[in-house]
Amino acid sequence: MNRENRREAPLPVLAFASIARPTFAVDYAEQMAAKALAALQQEGWPVYGDTSLLMDAQAARQSAIHLQEREPDVLVLLCATFSDASMAVELAAHISAPVCLWALREPGSPGERLWLNSLCGVHLAAHALHKTGRVVRYLYGDPGEAGLFEPLKALARAAATRRRLRTSRLGLVGEAPSGFYGCQFDELELGRVIGTSVHRINLTRIFQAASQAPASAVDTVIASTQAGSSGLSALNPDEVRRFGAAYVALRSLLQEEQLDGLAVRCWPEFPQDFGLMPCATLGRLADDGFICACEADLHGAVTLLILQWLSGAAPLLADVVALNEEAGTISLWHCGNAPACLARSGEEIPLTVHCNRRIGVTGNFAIRPGPATLARLGVGSRGYRLLYVEGELLDESVNRFAGNTAVFRPSCDAHQLLDTLIEGGWEHHVAFVAGHQAAALAALAELLEIEKVAL
């Protein structure tokens, strides 16, 4: 796996096939199959397949065996005309990927017979594929129509993220704090259901590595950080040195162990034994594209991975700290570990001391506004489950609480969201990311075969 572009959403690989029957308008169907394949290729995805119309199970089987060699993330199956479901089932039997069926519009004039009956073919195939346990989405429209590929894009992002999760690797630095039961996890079940493996790291190892970090490397980190935050120079110089040293140690660990990110026990040992709150250190690593979850929340870290790989943007893990019934919002906060890329555009990144511990180094800025998605991977009475809701982060000119605050207005009633989190027994951290990702999260939950809770 290429772990260098960590924030880049994994590129989905598509297989393309077309099915038809000779009793329909085959010449027109062939033209549309060529246009459909060209439209997919214009999206920039790797697309394997050709425009030949498959008209029997044997042809479908031969095509499927060839396409499976490419290990596609999604099978795009164009019902160029009506066909019974046998060819769709045959293709899916040999291609281990979710299926996106594609129905074309009817081209004939009023009063003419059905040229294609494509939509009925999609309906027939969808029923059969669902019975085989396959995840199915569909497109309806002709190549070139605006927004046509949105369901496919969501499914493709989810499928590519599922593939990447199978080989994901997270570092667990220390253990969850006492009484933080929601940050605990079953390592074997995590690997079985999600695919993530865990590399455990003792806190003492990090402290030793930080104390031995090369002075020149620490100087470089401090200088580059200070370029975006003049307030760093006002903090305790020893704490600033420890900030840089911890960054060097953790960054080296991430690279040496080929990790996608970290879940870190950030207190009490960091402030008591090392003299640092690592919030801004984790934020700086997140700016580099590594996901970082505080309080050793491993499932929270996996949630961050999911959101980052689906969106290609930096997510953040936070507490739910306030409800405003009148405004229909909830406030999301944590004590200063947000990456600088989440700050409001054009603002300097204030760095300061921790709001409770009163030692450095933490961030202190509001999260920039815009469309967003809140999500949480958790464990319920029936195993893994995934909660998600779309909404909007509001434009807050003043950071409401010291640290990092985001005011989120969900698409559902804000009180309903809080009821679901608390009465549903969800873990206390939630994650959020810019953009709307509900469709992709729904598809991912289906691919992982876990419960989905959509609000």
pLDDT-based confidence at 1, cuts 50/70/90?
Answer: very low
pLDDT tens track for 322-377: 999 999 999 999 999 999 999 988 788 899 888 888 898 999 999 999 999 999 99
Whether 207 contacts 273, CB under 8 Å: yes
pLDDT-based confidence at 2, cuts 50/70/90?
Answer: very low
pLDDT value of residue 12 = 95
What percent of the chain shows pLDDT beyond 90?
A: 89
Give the helix ranges, DSSP H, for 168-276.
187-193, 203-211, 215-226, 237-256, 269
Q: Give me 354's structure tokens.
A: 């921790």
Kindly provide the b/e burial profile for residues 264-282, where b requires at least 16 CB atoms within 10 angstroms of the residue's own CB. Answer: bbbbebbbeebebbbbbbb
pLDDT value of residue 6 = 63
pLDDT value of residue 241 = 97
> What residue type is assigned to position 109 of the chain?
S
What percent of the chain shows pLDDT beyond 70?
A: 99
pLDDT tens track for 167-204: 999 999 999 999 999 999 999 999 999 999 999 999 99
* Mean predicted confidence (pLDDT) in 195-215: 97
pLDDT value of residue 306 = 98
The C-alpha atoms of residue 431 and residue 377 are separated, in whole angstroms, by 9
Asked if the model's pLDDT at residue 230 lies above 90, the reply is: no
Going from the N-terminus, what domains does the chain have, and what CATH number goes with each?
Answer: 14-164 (3.40.50.10940), 167-454 (3.40.275.10)
pLDDT tens track for 411-443: 999 999 999 999 999 999 999 999 999 999 999
Q: Give me 355's structure tokens.
A: 């709001």
pLDDT value of residue 136 = 98
> Does pTM surpass 0.85?
yes
pLDDT-based confidence at 23, cuts 50/70/90?
Answer: very high
